[in-house]
Structure 1
Amino acid sequence: MKASVIIPAYNSKERLYNSLLTLNEQECEEEFEVIVADNGSEDGTLSMLESFKAEFPLIFVRIEQNRGIAYGRNQAVRNARGEILIFHDSDMLAEKHLVAKHIKAHENEDSLVVCGMFWKRIYSFYYDRFEKEHKERLAKIYEDMPAKNKQALLTEKEVKDGSFQKKSFDLDTDFIDALKSILDEYGDDLAGYHLPWRFFITNNSSVKRRHVADIGLFDEGIVRYGFEDYDLGIRLHQAGLSFKLRRDIMSVHQEHPSNCASVDDIRTNIAYMCDKYNNIHSLGVHLAFNGPFNASLTNGIMEDIAKLLEYEKFEELLNLFLELLHVVKDRNLDPDWRQKSPRVTAKSFDLQHIKKLLVKAEKKLGVHDFANALYALIADLLYVDLR
């Protein structure tokens, strides 16, 4: 078995059906299987899977209670036989060469993570629970606004023949704009970019199964919505794998009401990630989620951090940087952070010693981006100007 397509599903029967239809239409000479982890669905997903006429080996794992998407994905991975894992969510529509292109990308690349295009969106169904922005966009598309819950907005023919792509559009958010600007600067090979795991979105990505097994699968401690893919991507990156974006590997997300229960989900997961990667070798995690610097400067800081890590005498600088990024996290996530005991103060470190050490590091290693960032954080958070 060459590849296993991993799909977690939760109450997405109609979108999953469409997704499986597009996988039925794959033009791929290699054998592949599809494994669906039904994560406690209550909408008839299981009966749909039992009756679906698949053109590939279809395996489904029923999980009686939803224990989070990481747990669901792991149950699917544990049942996988493929050399390559292709992550593809239940609400994704695959263009007809998606599986073949993912497989081909790994032919001569043993330690590669392939990130397909993930920012295309489409309306395949109307939902009463759509958020305001979705209803406003739909009103611009349709003269007669859809009114029936789960009313189909695509025909089965459009799904099967691939013409659904003509109705797709780019997701327009600050998050996507930021990632596109990184691609503009560093290219789709992400050469010289030190946080490539930011492109590891598990609705359209692939990696060899043994690499995922080697690092321990998805972290099942991440139960709330999101970030389990980033966590796996971080560990794959730290294990030495390279990342590449492939715009030609196309998958389109079927829009639906958000699975994110509240902004508290995001806050909880960011705090979890910062606690998990609470060391100077994982400063990129803190910079990505909390850093107040633009993408280009952040990348320059990461280059400087790599230089500093080679010298034990500069670890004091890196530890202070880590502590200050924790303070930024607290400020970003906790509205009452000022009323609580401060994590660090100007007395927590010998700042004059820090200044001398930083001057030495700049002269010896040329770590100007890191130095400017540390000076700025000290001034902003500790109210001390060391320049």
Structure 2
Amino acid sequence: MKNVTLFLSIVIPTYNRLPILKKCLIALENQQIRQDSIGALDLGELNSPRVAPQVLDYEVVLVDDGSTDGTLDWLAAHGDQFPHVHSFAQNHAGPAAARNLGVKEAKGEIIIFIDSDLVVTEHFLQSHADALIQAEQRLGCDRLFTYGWVINTCNFDDPTSEPYKITDFSAAYFATGNVAIARKWLLEAGLFDTRFQLYGWEDLELGVRLKQLGLKLIKCPEAVGYHWHPPFSLDQIPRMIDREIQRGRMGVLFYRKHPTWEVRMMIQMTWLHRLL
């Protein structure tokens, strides 16, 4: 066996979320990485000797999706505080296009997707790496990805103090709030469909194509991220209505691409949902 560095690329799209983005990036800089062997991994090189990564390293690929809140200026002014962060910018085109750009610019063979309003724990990256390697050893192949816990919170000052709640459970197969996957599977599936420019469904739609490739979902509850959102107030109602309209439009696109009963259930497009 040869020793190598397992390099992770955390891809984060962001749009006008500077206050919580700061906490997101600080948490990623404060990762606790175990510098001993983390097991054997072949990264899909089925005809090559298996390798034993002993050093885990990472980068944060931040893609600004046309923010108007000074995100890029703040990054430029504080770049020395975030040595792992590499930032890129695009005109506002939605998270699908932003994630595709992030994958293109990423250096790692393993891509971890999170959102810019997610604050992770200090063992987040180590937990994903361990779960990927252990699952590959157990299954005898690398046709898999890991999916961590996402705990919703409106506690801005201390988001990681929020306990896990039954409402935090997700039955999604592939969602980009907290997922680690080999870059090669994203490329084989065709990346995100950039026609999803409004809110919703672009990650689940990619998940349909990944499932068709036979990838296995591996739950990784040790990789915890706290998804911050502001506490409810009446002035949010117009934005919430607009977001649901956007999600409905993207749901139509989702179903046109994959006119199956499974997708109808996802987007709540059944007679039962209409009755409810």
Distance 1:79 1:272 in 2: 27
Distance 1:270 1:13, change over 3 A: same
Aligned to 1:19: 24
1:274 aligns with 2:252: no
Aligned to 1:45: 71
Distance 1:76 1:52 in 2: 18
Aligned to 1:61: 88
Write the mapping of 1:305-344 to structure 2, written as runs, cut at 5 A.
Answer: 328=271, 332=274
Aligned to 2:7: 2
Aligned to 2:160: 165
Cα-Cα RMSD = 2.4
Distance 1:268 1:332, change over 3 A: farther
Distance 1:260 1:206 in 2: 31
1:241 aligns with 2:232: no
Aligned to 1:79: 105
Distance 2:166 2:129 in 1: 29
* Paired residue secondary structure (1:23): helix
Residue-by-residue CA offset, 1:130-167 (whole Å, 9 max, x unaligned)? xxxxxxxxxxxxxxxxxxxxxxxx2xxx6xxxxx422x
Point out the structure with max Rg over C-alpha. Answer: 1
Q: Which moved more, 1:84-93 or 1:244-253?
A: 244-253
Does the 8 Å contact 2:128/2:220 carry over to 1? no
Q: Which structure carries more strand by proportion?
A: 2
Residue-by-residue CA offset, 1:101-134 (whole Å, 9 max, x unaligned)? 112222252111211101332421xxxxxxxxxx
Measure how far apart 1:55 and its partner are.
5.1
Total equivalences in the alignment: 235
Q: Which moved more, 1:71-80 or 1:98-107?
A: 98-107
Residue-by-residue CA offset, 1:237-269 (whole Å, 9 max, x unaligned)? 111000022222110012136677332112112
2:262 corresponds to which of 284, 295, 312: 284
Distance 2:266 2:126 in 1: 32
Distance 1:263 1:120, change over 3 A: closer
Distance 1:84 1:36, change over 3 A: same
Does the 8 Å contact 1:225/1:260 carry over to 2? no
Does the 8 Å contact 2:127/2:220 carry over to 1? no
Does the 8 Å contact 1:6/1:34 carry over to 2? yes
Measure how far apart 1:231 and its partner are.
1.0
Distance 1:91 1:260, change over 3 A: farther
Residue-by-residue CA offset, 1:296-340 (whole Å, 9 max, x unaligned)? xxxxxxxxxxxxxxxxxxxxxxxxxxxxxxxx49x849xxxxxxx
Distance 2:96 2:189 in 1: 14
Measure how far apart 1:290 and its partner are.
3.5
Distance 1:260 1:289, change over 3 A: same
Q: For residue 118 of structure 1, what is the amino acid of its counterpart?
A: V
Residue-by-residue CA offset, 1:53-73 (whole Å, 9 max, x unaligned)? 34543211111x211110111
Distance 2:108 2:24 in 1: 20
Q: For residue 263 of structure 1, what is the amino acid of its counterpart?
A: E
* Paired residue secondary structure (2:208): helix
Distance 1:213 1:54, change over 3 A: farther
Measure how far apart 1:286 and its partner are.
2.4
* Paired residue secondary structure (1:52): helix
* Paired residue secondary structure (1:106): helix
Aligned to 1:200: 174
* Paired residue secondary structure (1:5): strand
Write the mapping of 1:142-181 to structure 2, written as runs, cut at 5 A.
Answer: 154=157, 164-166=159-161, 168-170=162-164, 176=168, 179=170
Distance 1:248 1:58 in 2: 23
Identity of aligned residues (%): 27
Measure how far apart 1:172 and its partner are.
6.7
Aligned to 1:347: none
Distance 1:38 1:55, change over 3 A: closer
Q: For residue 10 of structure 1, what is the amino acid of its counterpart?
A: Y
Distance 1:249 1:116, change over 3 A: same
1:111 corresponds to which of 136, 143, 148: 143
Distance 2:109 2:152 in 1: 27
Distance 1:222 1:260, change over 3 A: farther
